[in-house]
Structure 1
Amino acid sequence: MTATKIGIIWNPSKIDEGTLRSAVDDALDGDVQWWETSEDDPGLGMAKEAIAAGCETVIAVGGDGTVRAVAEGLAGSDAALGIVPQGTGNLLARNLEVPLDDIPAALARISAGETRQIDLGWVNTGGEDQAFMVMVGFGIDAQMLVETDDDLKDRAGWLAYVEAMGRAMAGTEMTGITLALDGGGAQEVRGHTLLIGNCGMVQGGVRLLPDAKLDDGLLDLLLVSADGALQWLDTVRSVVWDNGIRRLLTRDETAVSTESTRHLTAERIRVELEQPLAFEIDGEEVGEVSSFDVHVQAGGLRVH
């Protein structure tokens, strides 16, 4: 690869150090510097140190939390993010088609040196802005899909995610939501799930945000308001058929909204909730929030 300085930021709870160092020695040339994440810092500070040290490529080795923290530290810099996925969901890696469960293949992709610019999402829940790579929101979320019953996943594939969605919906209640898109007038809606994403594919090949692209300068929004069994079936049809199988068959590029599933896009989104709800950023719960602001940073990150 053309980079002469490489930073490795690795999560020791996800991989054996000896195994990783051996794979890196076999795959990468140049000056390789190492940083280990900690409970107090999952990678943000290490990424900034890597930039200060002159690293041209910074490789995040871990799960979605490690990748998100490192990406936030690299945002707006010239350094490129490489990913060696070692988590359960590995959602950004899936959307970038990074090899999973194959450390040498993931490192070979980085070693090839090709990069692209992708967007970053930023969310503020009342404090500092936090970056996200995949999606934020409440209700049906990435973590719920990651934790879908393993036995059912083995037997039923993507149908396991439909079952998981049903369980999640059964345990949630509708709430009032005030939405303002791109500085426009506020609109009052009701729903039990709101997702805002930079990319849309989760495990099992399910695309919750079928129009989401990592480099289109937009964020995609999914509002689910299934009230009762009939609307739940409508939601399943929307996710599995209208925005899943049908799109593959027809190559239709437009997401289909229904009575219970509404798709929108925007660069900036302001959300106020009727009551505080548990909120997640890239599958990690960050506590309850009653309002939040989201915006996209177009082309904010280079990735391998």
Structure 2
Amino acid sequence: MRAGIVYNPVKMDRDALAPQIESAQPLDWSEPFWIETDADDAGEAAVRAALDAGIDLLIVAGGDGTVRIAADAATGAHVPLAIIPAGTGNLLARNLGIDVTSLRNAVRTAFEGADREVDLGELEIEAPDGTRSKHAFAVMVGFGLDAEMIDKTDEGLKKKVGWLAYVDAAGRVISSLDTVRVHVRLDGGRTVRSTVNTMVIGNCGTVTNGIILLPDAAIDDGMLDIALVRPRGIRGWAQLAGYVARNNMLVTKLLRRRGHLGRQRSGPALGYGQAKETHARLEEPRAVQVDGDVVGEAVALRAVVREDALVVRVPREHARDAGPAI
């Protein structure tokens, strides 16, 4: 048995990671295959090289972008993926219950955790000039507040204060965020027209700092969850804040995990939906983000779920989890 370790040298110091790997790896495993990512391709070449080396476990130490690329590649290779969180958001790791605060615990999970089958999403976007591109995603995609916030985040500030840099960006974006008319169709049903400032399509529901945005989302339910954010005025924003606050109360999380709550209801400021395939056409182009990376502007989106596409290594207590960790 042999592990392949792909690491982003900007996010993770090999000298810090190597001793943890050495102490956690079983004695009968071969020397691991190490390779660092290249900024020019966001790690795709490194992941491919590791998989081509015939490894039995793909360990990725990096941010959400590197993890997303590794997840897409590992799908076709049928190799388990283990995540060593080393970014600002670490969104997939949070949704899987992987410890984002302890390097030692994350490495232990890589070798001693359990395998769990999860879904992946695939997003196809149409740019204003008619060109199309496809992007795999593990967590969330969308346009509006999240994409604009990511696009306006100061990278220097993010290195200094981490996720708090997103708060700074959100404060600057909200006041100038424009609405857009969008036509949405879920699973071939009727087209719904709505005026929104944000649309999110998620494979799982927890975002930066553990905040639950899509309360009904589960990473292995074969569905994508959709949120249309449409607050009007101060009252609408207050309603939206109320939805989010209630969903993040400890008692709400416990009741939901134990199956005592029904599905999240839509309201005037926030509409929810669920589908295997989602189509959306925008009357004006908007920037789109994929798992925390802005990938360009789009006038149309198509998102589909790839059921049980990926095997990930998770803490054993989360091997059959029904939702994000509390």
> Considering the TM-score relative to the shorter chain, is it more than 0.5?
yes
Please state if 1:219 is matched with 2:229.
no
- Cα offset for 1:162? 8.8
Please state if 1:254 is matched with 2:251.
no
- Of stretches 136-145 and 37-46 in structure 1, the one that deviates more from structure 2 is 136-145
User: How many Å separate the matches in 2 of 1:186 and 1:271?
Assistant: 9
1:104-115 mapped onto 2 (5 Å cutoff) = 104-115=104-115
Counterpart of 2:92 in 1: which secondary structure? helix
- Of stretches 50-59 and 264-273 in structure 1, the one that deviates more from structure 2 is 50-59
Using a 3 Å threshold, how does the CA distance of structure 1 residues 216 and 143 change in structure 2: closer, same or farther? farther
Amino acid at match of 2:197: H
- Cα offset for 1:164? 7.3
Amino acid at match of 2:283: E
Match of 2:79 in 1: 79
Select the structure with the greater relative contact order (CA < 8 A; seq sep ≥ 6): 2
Q: Quick check: 2:61–2:84 contact (8 Å CA) kept in 1?
A: yes
Give the number of equivalent residue pairs.
Answer: 295
Q: Quick check: 2:149–2:166 contact (8 Å CA) kept in 1?
A: no
User: How many Å separate the matches in 2 of 1:299 and 1:49?
Assistant: 24
Counterpart of 1:51 in 2: which secondary structure? helix
1:101-180 mapped onto 2 (5 Å cutoff) = 101-126=101-126, 127-141=132-146, 144=149, 168-180=173-185
- Cα offset for 1:253? 4.2
Structure 1 unaligned segments of length 5 or more: list them: none
- Of stretches 86-95 and 30-39 in structure 1, the one that deviates more from structure 2 is 30-39
The match for 1:297 among 298, 306, 319 is: 306
Q: CA RMSD in A?
A: 2.7
User: How many Å separate the matches in 2 of 1:296 and 1:45?
Assistant: 25
Match of 2:323 in 1: none
- Normalised by the length of structure 1, the TM-score is 0.88
Match of 2:295 in 1: 286
User: How many Å separate the matches in 2 of 1:113 and 1:206?
Assistant: 25
Counterpart of 1:217 in 2: which secondary structure? coil
- Of stretches 231-240 and 45-54 in structure 1, the one that deviates more from structure 2 is 45-54
Amino acid at match of 1:105: N
Using a 3 Å threshold, how does the CA distance of structure 1 residues 176 and 167 change in structure 2: closer, same or farther? same
User: How many Å separate the matches in 2 of 1:116 and 1:249?
Assistant: 22
- Cα offset for 1:190? 0.9
Match of 2:317 in 1: none
Amino acid at match of 1:97: G
Please state if 1:90 is matched with 2:83.
no
| CA displacement 1:137-193 (0-9 Å, x = unmatched) | 01232884896999xx99xx99x9999766543221111001111122322111000
Please state if 1:182 is matched with 2:217.
no
User: How many Å separate the matches in 2 of 1:78 and 1:124?
Assistant: 23
Match of 1:266 in 2: 275
- Cα offset for 1:129? 2.3
- Cα offset for 1:46? 2.8
- Cα offset for 1:203? 2.7
Using a 3 Å threshold, how does the CA distance of structure 1 residues 143 and 121 change in structure 2: closer, same or farther? farther
- Of stretches 276-285 and 43-52 in structure 1, the one that deviates more from structure 2 is 43-52
Q: Quick check: 1:142–1:282 contact (8 Å CA) kept in 2?
A: no
| Identity fraction in percent | 36
Match of 1:27 in 2: 24
User: How many Å separate the matches in 2 of 1:50 and 1:287?
Assistant: 29
| CA displacement 1:245-278 (0-9 Å, x = unmatched) | 2623653142121101001000001111111111
